[in-house]
Structure formats: structure tokens, C-alpha cells
Amino acid sequence: MQEYKTIEDLGDLNGKVVMLRADLNVPMDENFHVTNTARIDRTVPTIKLLMKKGAKVVVISHFGRPEGKGDTKNSLSHVAPELEKALGSKVVFVEDCIGEAVKNAVASAKNGEVLLLENLRFYDEEKKGNEEWAKELTKYADAYVSDAFSTAHRAHASMVAAAKNLPSAMGLLMAEEVNALTNGLNNPKRPLMAIVGGSKVSTKLDLLNNLVKKVDKLVISGGMAHTFLKVLGVAAINEENSLVQMDMLDTAKEILATAKANNCEIILPNDLVWSKEFAANAEHKTVDLDNIPAGGTLLDVGEKTVATIKDKMAECKTVVWNGPLGAFELKPFDAATNAVAQYAAELTQAGKLITVAGGGDTVSSLASAGVDDKFTYISTAGGAFLEWMEGKELPGIVVMKK
């Protein structure tokens, strides 16, 4: 973390106005009640630190998809009460994020108080990365802190241009995310295993191409494994009973060749769970690769595959995970994901393994498995986590370098 600016690099913040870019884009029901406060809760330590340092904390965030115009549905006013509850202190909501309303609210605020500005995406300039608009955004601030790793892959005005306008630094959550991912993939304890699930090879091409050059063992599961199995000669896999992508066979061959050249061991399913239909509790059975029925659909990996993954995992020091092993949202086709996740958690709790996971489906599947608090680190980010694993530079991180 020495290459990045932290809050301590900002010096004395007493009486200073600090703009904090958070990610408060939380799920909400039709009655405007927040249904999951994880993103709010995880940025609270940074806000409290800035409050303790005597700063006037001006929190900014996007929310929903308002497409450049204000509306009640996407107002951050619905989030303000939850932020207030999480902080245990008053939060003043400001009905705009630029202009006189902000100027007046900042002038009225006392040291250690918190303001929450209205949704950044009520302005098109935010997503366009407009530098002039970013100057308006930061006009009344003395310093900038980013705690929004989940938006770090976007060169939005509040993520990049705003950071360039002021003395800037990473918040505690941002630093925690970057540190965990650096230790997980860029500078890991080896052997390093990656687990990649998902439905299609085409959606994770960059990820697979990057991982085969970096990891020692790569587990490929989910629907995308069907394409690799087809390449390896599993004749019974077809477009009716699986998610095989026939137009990606040559690409899968190239990935396997790159893996071999880089001494990356590829771990593919050696048995699969076949179901009569894509539905919860549908009629199903575990089949070997040479005994896949013609109809129906493949929804999970079998016990032999789970045992293989566990054996290989036991040889490793670090695991990075993105994507479930099967159709985890349908019981009992969450069995493989649950079993491997619980074993990874067991090794983590025993101090034998570092586990880093991220991505929307991944977080949901680990929560379903009951291990979301037993991994070394689980990222709240989706796209940013994936792009980091793909080896891409994230604009919102690059701007934080010293």
C-alpha cells in the first residue's frame, strides 16, 4: 500500500471540508426501505475517522440509474436515515450535489458533522467524466477521499477528475480492498488457485487469459466448463443439454495451450449433475462425462469433481474466487458451490489458506453457503473486482498513486 495515498497523507483535517466518494448504491424495496446495508456499513469506519479528525464530511455517491435527471425513486434522501443509523450521529441531507445548496450547507456545518449530497447521476456530466463539472462538485471542499472501490473501474467525474482537483487519498475500505486483492492475485502466497464459474466463456475471456498466466491452478466450472469439456472430446455435450458455445471452441483451445505453456494446471469437472429441467428440486442425477443423457440440462458438478477441487485446494496457500460452480440459485444445484465454499472457509479459519472472493453472484452464493464471514476477504465490488482480476488498471485506483 506504500504506493498509494492514504488519509494520513492529508495531514491535519481539523476544520477542513473533506469530500468522501462512497458507494451507497444499496438495494431498496418499493417502499424505499434499504434491504441490505452492507455498503453503508463498510464505509462507516472511514466517515468516523474523518469525523474524529474534526473534518466536515461531505459524502457523495451515485444511486440507481436516473440517466442524468432527478427523480424521487433514485434520490439518496432514502439512504440518509440508514447512514445516520449506521453512524449513530446526525446526517444532513442536501438536495443537490453542486451549487448554492451545497455552499450553504457546508458553511452551516460544524467540525465533525456529516452531509450527504444528492445523487451524482442526476447529472449527465458525472458519467461522462466532465472535468468542468467536477470543479463545481469539489468547489467547496479542501480534500478528497475515495472509498468507492466498486466504482473504481469507471472514469466518472467523481472518481477521477474530482480526485485530481484536491489533495486526495484512499479511504479505509478502498485501501482494504486494494490490499486484499494485491495479496490475493498480484503478490500472493503460493501455490495460488483461482476458481472461475459463470455461464459463458465469452463473458470471461479477459479473465481466463489473465489468470492462466498468473495462477498455479485454475478451476473452471459453471456453464463455461462445458465449452472446455467439448474441446477435450466429451461428445455428449451439445447446445441442447448444456451451455457449450460452439463458436468459442478455438478460443478455449488457445486458453488451454496458454495454460500449459505457463505451467497452470486446469481443473475441469469429471462428473456433472444432470437434471430433467431448469427448476428447483427437479428430477436429477449425477453422471460421468461418458454417460450424459441426450435431453435435459447440466446444472452442477458432481461429488467426484468436488473431491478433486478440495484435494487441489489443500495443496494451495491462496484462493481467489469469482463465480459459482453451478446453478446455485436453484436447490439442490447449490451443493457443489456450498461444499467447496465451506471447505475453503474451514481451511481459512484454520489459518491454512488465504481466501479472496468477489462479484455479485459469488457474494450471494457464499452467503447462501453460510461462509460470507469466514473468508479472508469478500469484495463488495462486481465489475471493479472482475477487471482487477483481468489485470486491467482501474482509473479510480491509478489516480490514488503517489
Checking if the pLDDT of 335 tops 90, the result is yes
Query: What is 373-392 written as a DSSP string?
Result: TTSSEE-S-SHHHHHHHTTP
Model pLDDT, residue 370: 95
Mean pLDDT over the full length of the chain:
95
Share of the chain above pLDDT 70, in %: 100
Mean pLDDT computed over 163-175: 97
- Write the pLDDT tens digit of every residue in 249-273: 999 999 999 999 999 999 999 999 9
Catalytic hit among 5, 21, 39, 56: 39
Question: Tens digits of per-residue pLDDT, 188-201?
Answer: 999 999 999 988 89
What would the pLDDT profile of 27-36 be if each residue is shown by its tens digit? 999 999 999 8
Q: Active-site residue 310, yes or no?
A: no
Contacts of 288 (CB under 8 A, 6+ apart): 270, 271
CB hemisphere CA count around 8 (13 angstroms): 5
Do residues 360 and 381 make contact, with C-beta atoms less than 8 angstroms apart? no
Q: What is the pTM of this model?
A: 0.90
**Range of 6-20, 229-243, 363-377, 381-395 with top mean pLDDT:** 6-20
User: In this predicted structure, what is the pLDDT of residue 67?
Assistant: 81
Q: Which residue has the higher pLDDT, 131 or 67?
A: 131
Record the cell numbers describing residue 187, joined without a space.
Answer: 503478490
Torsion angle of C-alpha atoms 37, 353, 186, 205, degrees rounded to 10: -80
pLDDT tens, position by position, 71-82: 899 999 999 999
How crowded is the C-beta side of 231, counted as CA atoms within 13 Å? 19
Q: How many CB atoms lie within 10 A of CB 156?
A: 25
**How far is the C-alpha of 138 from the C-alpha of 220, rounded, in Å?**
45
Let me know if 39 is a catalytic residue.
yes
Per the residue annotation, which of 64, 382, 383, 391 is the catalytic one? 383
Structure confidence at residue 341 as a pLDDT band (50, 70, 90): very high
* pLDDT classification of 140: cutoffs 50, 70, 90: very high
Across the range 123-135, mean pLDDT stands at 97
Question: In this model, does residue 229 exceed pLDDT 90?
Answer: yes
pLDDT at 274 over 70: yes
- Catalytic, out of 135, 139, 200, 253: 200
Confirm if 244 and 230 have CB atoms less than 8 A apart.
Answer: yes
pLDDT tens-digit series, residues 379-399: 978 889 989 999 999 999 999
| Cell triple for 11 | 495531514
- Tell me whether residue 68 is one of the annotated catalytic residues: no
pLDDT the model gives residue 218: 98
pLDDT higher than 90, residue 1: no
Q: Catalytic pick from 54, 64, 360, 391? A: 360
